[in-house]
Amino acid sequence: MKTGTTGNNKFLKELNETYILELIRSNKQISKADLAQLTGLSPTACGIIVTNLLEKGYISEAGIGISTGGRRPVLYELIPESYYSIGVDIDVDFVRFILMDITGQVVYRDKFLSKANYSAAVYIELVEEKIKQIIHRYKIEEGRLLGVGVSIPGIIDNLTHEVVFAPNLGWERIDLENMMSGTGSFPIYVDNEAICSAICENWIGCCVNQRDFVCINMKSGIGSSIFAGGNLYRGCSGSAGEIGHIMVDPNGPKCGCGNYGCLETLASSRAMVEKAQKQIKQGLIADLTDIDSITVDDIISSAKAGNEATRVILIEASGYLGLAVANLINTINPSKIVLGKELDKFPEDVLEHLKNIAFAKALKYPVSRVEIVTSELGEDTSALGAAIIPLKKLFGYQI
Amino acid sequence: MKTGTTGNNKFLKELNETYILELIRSNKQISKADLAQLTGLSPTACGIIVTNLLEKGYISEAGIGISTGGRRPVLYELIPESYYSIGVDIDVDFVRFILMDITGQVVYRDKFLSKANYSAAVYIELVEEKIKQIIHRYKIEEGRLLGVGVSIPGIIDNLTHEVVFAPNLGWERIDLENMMSGTGSFPIYVDNEAICSAICENWIGCCVNQRDFVCINMKSGIGSSIFAGGNLYRGCSGSAGEIGHIMVDPNGPKCGCGNYGCLETLASSRAMVEKAQKQIKQGLIADLTDIDSITVDDIISSAKAGNEATRVILIEASGYLGLAVANLINTINPSKIVLGKELDKFPEDVLEHLKNIAFAKALKYPVSRVEIVTSELGEDTSALGAAIIPLKKLFGYQI
């Protein structure tokens, strides 16, 4: 029993330190007296923990607070340049990088073009090289990088953390965490791209304090992630939120998964691009001519410039997305649905159409409690969320 | 601070007592020494709590255990007839009652016929009368009824606990908990029928130790409930799992909710009965003749007896149910899906068809992790789950 008790005490000590660190973060500046009051720990215990945190370099004295009777208290705050975190978003078109300091501020962001036919090994080599450059450029000392979060457009196994399947990268059963673990003396955390976006929206975006929300991202595929009761909901093996293959039209086209009328065959970037290419061939879209290089951004720009044919492509896709959103409203009963990646660039009237379909097709009661919004953080949400993973771990949050 | 600390201590004392009680329940028989070891509390502290529980009449000495060196220890166990809980399942056709003892054993079960046109007030009068009878018959002393759980086929508001909408009972905004609170000196807990079934399956049924599962019930309507990460997931306002109005056929019939092709219009008991009635009129179902009194049980019996027309009705409904199950597999990634109420009576080949459609339409990865089963507890799951609510509260579980 003795060993067990000692072990527990040590564990509790670590928990207390984590909790104090989180209180310093969330309060921005705070005194030992307030820490004691908020934690219920004795002032002496708080003092010891604060000294530890000062020694480890996480925090510094921030100045003198307002007196509540006695001596004016010393305030403590996080040192922004003390510890860092890196987020990497590996996707088909780009690989994005975020360097974040311990306070959550973005210090650096960058991206480079990637190609769908890159193997996992090529991605890893490029990503590792870039991480080394960032560490060198920002003079991040050994032990001061809290970790690297990596966002992947695919299913990640809950238990093994393997990439089970990332169809648009052509990856299957890739143990990225293990393959990258030699990159440096910091942990690697691999997670799904929609989950990374949800972590981002919940930490610094439009879902701070939201307990039940869904993030839907559209890129080449369509994915979503669910926060249930204040925590990420991953399902029993990590694939919860995979709405791309929900049937929205039984007479729809055949999908790569073998079924017909999956959401992705009717509403993904790829589906819209293919539809536009056909119409360009038929001479139906005058302002788009370069069939091979067309992207969904071109379709959106064309629709925004007033082209009716491209607008119809977006409207049709948004109608199917509206059906999927209605499903989620009924099944999940979220307080918020956040549309991200390409979706936040959609023209206003197209987004209105999506919302109208969703609200008309779902039950009135959950509709009355939900808000559908677009992300305000653009295409970086997954890279940001990936960078937030090591921070959440440091501050004692469940991932 | 002093008051706060005292309050906290009292709160902790209650938590410790709850935890000890739960350990006695889950271990069936246990000694003070083992309780001390499992809780980390001192033997003296455990002794005080055990004495309290003996005095309150929850537990008794059960005999002498095996010695692990010293004196043979006294074992403690729950007294089955010490405290009770009642579960009531209010539905359109029947109202069901369960009396359960503190150990979870069913002491008594009964049901009476109800009518869809009963008002909430009539239901309450009938239910209160029955509760009084049960209390009298089993000589349950004042304070020994832990509570009454009430299962309702409708949406229950998370915060107010009001019945927001129970379409098949014709109820809207009924504050049943409040209306029934004068029944006696025990708490009333109102909850959704599919949620009650999930509570039942998780406590005594096929989902003990399952963290992520879905229960689907078919009665006049179709509802589901979700356990996510070991806890009930209710959504932001209590309507999570309302899959009855998910669109499964855009060309389907008009639904009461205003949309077309909702699951309930194609696969509920009511939908199947209406389809059978039409076919009986056309003389297509020889073995069913009484159009007005036909139920889904008759359709199931007829199909089991070899009638092809009724079998086709079930097969068609199960195909649509399979689509809805595929949606849930993709979105929720559960380890188990439990089919309950009328669904567990379906003929084997009809259930096979449902599973085949679900597995074919969902993604391979979540399919490889899910099991679709029928409930083994029959039509009582909601009444059982309702009775379990006061027990779960007593033993410190989240509801």
ipTM of the complex: 0.92
Q: In chain B, what residues touch A337 (CB-CB under 8 Å)?
A: none
* Same domain for A365 and A234: yes
Residues B53 and B68 in one domain: yes
Q: Are B293 and B355 found together in one domain?
A: yes
- Nearest residue in A to B231, CA atom: A229
In a domain, B399, yes or no: no
Region B13-39: mean pLDDT is 92
Token reading at A395: 């501050």
Q: For residues B140 and B266, state if they share a domain.
A: no
B6, pLDDT greater than 70? no
Q: What is the DSSP string of A232-262?
A: EE--SSS-TT-GGG-BS-TTS-B-TTS-BSB
Q: Return mean pLDDT, chain B.
A: 92
Provide the residue range defining the domain that includes A128. Answer: 84-202+382-394
Q: Which residue of A has its CA nearest to B36?
A: A1
Which of A 231-290 lie inside 8 A of B, CB atoms? 231, 233-243, 245-247, 249-250, 257-259
Q: Using an 8 Å Cβ cutoff, are B234 and A348 in contact? A: no
Least confident span in A255-259, A372-376, B17-21, B80-84: A255-259
Q: Is there a contact between B243 and A330 if contact means CB atoms under 8 Å apart?
A: yes
Residues on chain B touching A235 (C-beta within 8 angstroms): 212, 332-334, 366
Q: Please determine, for residue B11, whether its predicted confidence score (pLDDT) is greater than 90.
A: no
Q: Nearest C-alpha of chain B: how many angstroms from A99?
A: 31
> Which is more confident, B355 or B42?
B355
CA B104, B137, B383, B232 dihedral sign is: negative
- Chain A residues with CB under 8 Å of B332 CB are 235, 240, 331
- The verdict on a CB contact (< 8 Å) between B369 and A237 is yes
Answer yes or no: do A136 and A152 share one domain.
yes
Same domain, B88 and B71: no
Distance between A38 CA and the closest CA of chain B, angstroms: 11
CB contact B306 to A (< 8 Å): no
Which residues does chain B have within 8 Å of residue A226's beta carbon, measured at their own beta carbons?
Answer: 331
The answer to whether residue A352 sits within a structural domain is: yes
The confidence score (pLDDT) of residue A181 equals: 80
Chain B residues with CB under 8 Å of A5 CB are: 40
Q: For chain A, which ranges sit under pLDDT 50? A: 1-8
Q: Both B219 and B341 in a single domain?
A: yes
Give the pLDDT confidence score for residue B1 in this predicted structure. 28
Q: Please tell me whether residues A10 and A63 are part of one structural domain.
A: yes
pLDDT band at B257 (very low <50, low <70, confident <90, very high): confident
Query: Does residue A212 fall inside a structural domain?
Result: yes
| pLDDT tops 50 at residue B3 | no
Residues of A in contact with B163 (CB under 8 A): none
In a domain, B324, yes or no: yes
Of A229, A237, A364, the CB nearest to B233: A229
Q: Do A250 and B246 touch (CB under 8 A)?
A: no
Q: What share of chain B is helix, strand, coil (3-state, %, to 5)?
A: 45, 20, 35
pLDDT at residue number B5: 37
Taking a C-beta distance cutoff of 8 angstroms, is the pair A112, A130 a contact?
yes
Q: Are the C-beta atoms of residues B166 and B207 closer than 8 Å to each other?
A: no
Task: Tell which of B78, B94, B125 closes a domain.
Answer: B78
Asked if residue B372 and residue B354 are part of one domain, the reply reads yes
In this complex, do B362 and A323 lie within 8 Å of one another by their Cβ atoms? no
Q: Are A92 and A114 in contact (CB under 8 A)?
A: yes
**Considering only CB atoms, which chain A residues are within 8 Å of B37?**
1
Q: How far is the C-alpha of B126 from the C-alpha of A145, rounded, in Å?
A: 66
A359–chain B Cβ distance below 8 A for any pair: no
Number of domains in chain B: 3
Task: Give the gap in angstroms from C-alpha B49 to the nearest C-alpha of chain A.
Answer: 21
- Taking only residues 35 to 54 of chain A, the set having a beta carbon closer than 8 angstroms to any beta carbon of chain B reads 37, 40
B51 is a domain residue: yes
pLDDT at site B63: 81
**A302 belongs to a structural domain:** yes
Quick one: closest CA in B to A2, which residue?
B40
Residue B10: the pLDDT is: 55
Residue A8 near chain B (CB below 8 Å): yes
- Which residues 122-151 in chain B show a CB within 8 A of chain A? none
Residue A399 belongs to some domain of the structure: no
Choosing among A158, A211, A247, which should be mutated to test the B contact, i.e. which has the most B CBs within 10 A?
A247
Name every residue whose Cβ is closer than 8 Å to that of residue A182 and which is 6 or more positions away in sequence.
none
Q: Which residues from A are below 8 Å from B363, CB to CB?
A: 239, 242, 245, 257
Residue B169 has pLDDT above 60, yes or no: yes
The span from the CA of B358 to the CA of B366, in Å, is: 11
Which of B246, B258, B364 minimises the CB distance to A327? B246
- What's the mean pLDDT in B356-368? 96
**CATH code for position A57:** 1.10.10.10
pLDDT of residue A7: 43
Q: How far is A244 from chain B (nearest CA, A)?
A: 9
Residue B150 falls inside a structural domain: yes
Q: Are residue A372 and residue A247 in the same domain, yes or no?
A: yes
* pLDDT score of A98: 98
User: Where among B78, B113, B135 does a domain terminate?
Assistant: B78
**Phi and psi torsions of A232, nearest 5°:** -60, 135
Same domain? B11 vs B55: yes
Q: Give residue A10's pLDDT.
A: 55
The CATH number covering residue A177 comes to 3.30.420.40
Model pLDDT for residues B284-321, shown as the tens digit of each residue: 888 888 888 899 999 999 999 999 999 999 999 999 99
Same-domain check for residues A94 and A170: yes
Contact between A8 and B333 using a beta-carbon 8 Å cutoff: no
**Could you say which of B44, B78, B112 is where a domain stops?**
B78
Residue A215 to residue A212: CA distance in whole angstroms = 10
Take residue B208 and report the two structure tokens written for it.
């003990």
pLDDT at B183: 75
Phi/psi zone of residue A379: left (φ > 0), alpha (ψ -120 to 50 degrees), beta?
Answer: alpha
